[in-house]
Amino acid sequence: MNGTTTFDLPIGGMTCASCAGRVERALGKVPGVQRVSVNLANERAHIEVLGQMDPAVLIAAVDKAGYSASLPQSETKTEADQAQRLHHERWALLLAIVLALPLVLPMLAQPFGLHWMLPAWVQFALATPVQFIFGARFYIAAWKAVRAGAGNMDLLVAIGTSAGYGLSLYEWLTAPAGSMPHLYFEASAVVIALVLLGKYLESRAKRQTASAIRALEALRPEHAIRVVDGREEDVAISALKLGDQVLVKPGERFPVDGEVVDGQSHADEALISGESLPVPKQPGDKVTGGAINGEGRLLVRTVALGAESVLARIIRLVEDAQAAKAPIQKLVDKVSQVFVPTVLVLALLTLLGWWLYGASLEIAIINAVAVLVIACPCALGLATPTAIMAGTGVAARHGILIKDAEALERAHAVSAVVFDKTGTLTSGTPKIAHLAAVDGNEPLLLQQAGALQRGSEHPLAKAVLDACREQGLNVADVSASQSLTGRGIAGTLDGRPLALGNRRLLEDNGLDAGALSPSAKAWEAEGRTLSWLIEQGAQPRVLGLFAFGDTLKPGALEAVAQLKARHISSHLLTGDNRGSARVVAEALGIDDVHAEVLPADKAATVAELKKTGVVAMVGDGINDAPALAAADIGIAMGGGTDVAMHAAGITLMRGDPRLVPAALEISRKTYAKIRQNLFWAFVYNLIGIPLAAFGLLNPVLAGAAMALSSVSVVSNALLLKTWKPKDLEDPHP
């Protein structure tokens, strides 16, 4: 039986969801192709074929459909190509605006009695490059749509601008010598410039989306130290095989998923599993590629490589989650498919109707073109960009970055918010949650523990020393300090042999919890990490107990309460243990808790919640990236990883949980403005087209109506600048 072969081909020329659909259909018709998925976000086609196939066959099928395909290139070259393309789009937009401004300024000045109208040949010279050089992409895309029997916004732009441009040529060429005809070059040029603005914003958003994958890829080291027969050699990750042993030094990232063979250390897995505390590692323990090794040297046996590693699976989950099409895009495509042919039919009926009515052919043409001019999507080009720019601008001033249009369109309907725990609702760094001294002298207990931990870089040691500093306690020096591997640390203070460590230290000294047993059990049930301070010597005894854990962020309780007041339910989703998750949930009044959840399961849990409503996911780590991308709205907390921020549609610049309800509010208001703008954009068409068809609206008034619709849209969008978050203290970053 032949197996399957997969191809990932970069696709060029796609502008909308319907383009992705046409590429999928073209590739699906190739014999031997079993499954096709075209991701518009990263502009790639993932193809599964039965047996072997020459990729040239697939590339030819894409070319035949009117698009381009190529073999995959390196990440560096892909990034360079995308940056170059964005650079070209930016210059095309700027030049189009520069050429269109002299055309539109006289039209805007005319109502004030200022007659700055440019000569016809100057208008022609300015409008022609905009129409046929910068607007060429719309003609190409429109032709593809027509050939595929579909209508889209590109077709609407091409028809509307061509009508305005064509009418201007007609009026200019037929005007008596010495007279100034009515020209509509400015309408065609401005529409092109505005739509180019929308396309540029779209390209920039795509590039930002794709950068999530690049940020994930960057976590994997390119090289590893392979150990063969006691000899160390630096090799590329691609050269490793299953079973190879690699050496990981302190502070380095684990290059592979593996199992510890030799050595003891701690691993910072916060970005992978959500576990806030460093995890002890000793022979037999599993390690995950991308996690950071702590203080010890570890020899690791490779158990997973390439596509099977945890990090690679997270990357695939993010890619799959980002492949979803925006619902509003489908709606716009459907409207365009109906709107375009309807306007064409109405323009034709207008032409025939007036000609049969007895009007001259010139009058009939002018009225027909008036129908096309009033249908020009001038305000449509402004509707979304102006609302997004105004909404995102005011949000940014309050520390909220909105960079995903899908977040805007879905925010108004959010019914559930899913919070990660570590780094989102909690500080993400261990602190002393509880301590108990056998003799009741807690400051002395803290001083003794601080003396043992002095100079240590361990996160738990930092928590002890921070607590000493906060209480103004002096920390003395200890003598004969030594590390107790896998147990803790020991030293002599004022002639007393002391040791601080885990339960194994307690057992090794033949001690039990004694009077501290109830506290130990209760704190362990909360998911706390316990450390015992004991006095060694002839008669060992327990001096006290420390419980380490995460602490709630300021504002976490208020954030959950604000969401509840807006009838939005809160859920806790974490890779941390059940005890600590339960404590946090109870403190915040969250009823729905999912603990000890792996990254893959986080996305699945979010997907399950999406069946009953619109879900927003709030997180900060790599482990949250699939869930952020899978949710209807992803919200990344400031101070989190680049991956989380790229996978999310909304980024909060500060780690204040109260920004979550504020972000949902401004997103909802911005989306409401987009809907209002689209209404204003269309209402002029709905009123203007019948007036134009009956000869009550000449092209000059049609152009003025479209200009007025643009003013209405911009003015409405600017109202967003007055927004301020209501329930947030010190809203400015």
Which residues are tagged catalytic? Answer: 420
Select from 248, 239, 246 the least CA-distant residue to 266: 248
Q: How many angstroms separate the CA atoms of 350 and 692, rounded?
A: 9
- Rounded CA separation 31/485 (Å): 62
- Residue 650 one-letter amino acid: I
Structure tokens belonging to residue 436: 């108990």
- φ and ψ at residue 51, rounded to 5 degrees: 75, -145
The structure tokens listed for 263 are: 């050595």
Helices marked H in 12-152: 17-28, 55-64, 75-109, 120-129, 136-147
* Spatial separation of the C-alpha atoms in residues 595 and 575, rounded to whole Å: 6
List the one residue out of 718, 195, 636, 152 whose CA is nearest residue 407: 636
Q: Given its phi and psi angles, is residue 261 left (phi above 0), alpha (psi -120 to 50 degrees) or beta?
A: alpha
Residue 567 near residue 661, CB atoms below 8 Å: no
Give the separation between CA 432 and CA 462, rounded to whole angstroms. 10
Distance CA 5, CA 325 (A): 26
d(CA 477, CA 569): 51
Phi, psi of 366 (to 5 degrees): -60, -45
Q: Is residue 71 exposed (0-12), middle (13-18) or buried (19+ Cβ within 10 Å)? A: exposed
| Contact criterion met (CB below 8 Å) for 10 and 72 | yes
Cβ–Cβ < 8 Å for 381, 195 = yes
User: What whole-number distance in Å separates Cα of residue 457 and Cα of residue 477?
Assistant: 16
Q: Distance between CA 513 and CA 532 in Å, rounded?
A: 9
d(CA 474, CA 286): 40
Q: In angstroms, rounded to a whole number, what is the distance separating the alpha carbons of residues 212 and 694?
A: 54
Can you tell me whether residue 257 is helix, strand or coil? strand
Please measure the distance between the N-terminal and C-terminal CA atoms of the chain and give it in whole angstroms.
62
How many residues belong to the chain? 733
Strands in 305-406 per DSSP E: 400-402
Pairwise CA distance, residues 668 & 406, whole Å = 11
Measured CA to CA, the distance from residue 20 to residue 372 in angstroms comes to: 29
CA distance 48 to 8: 9
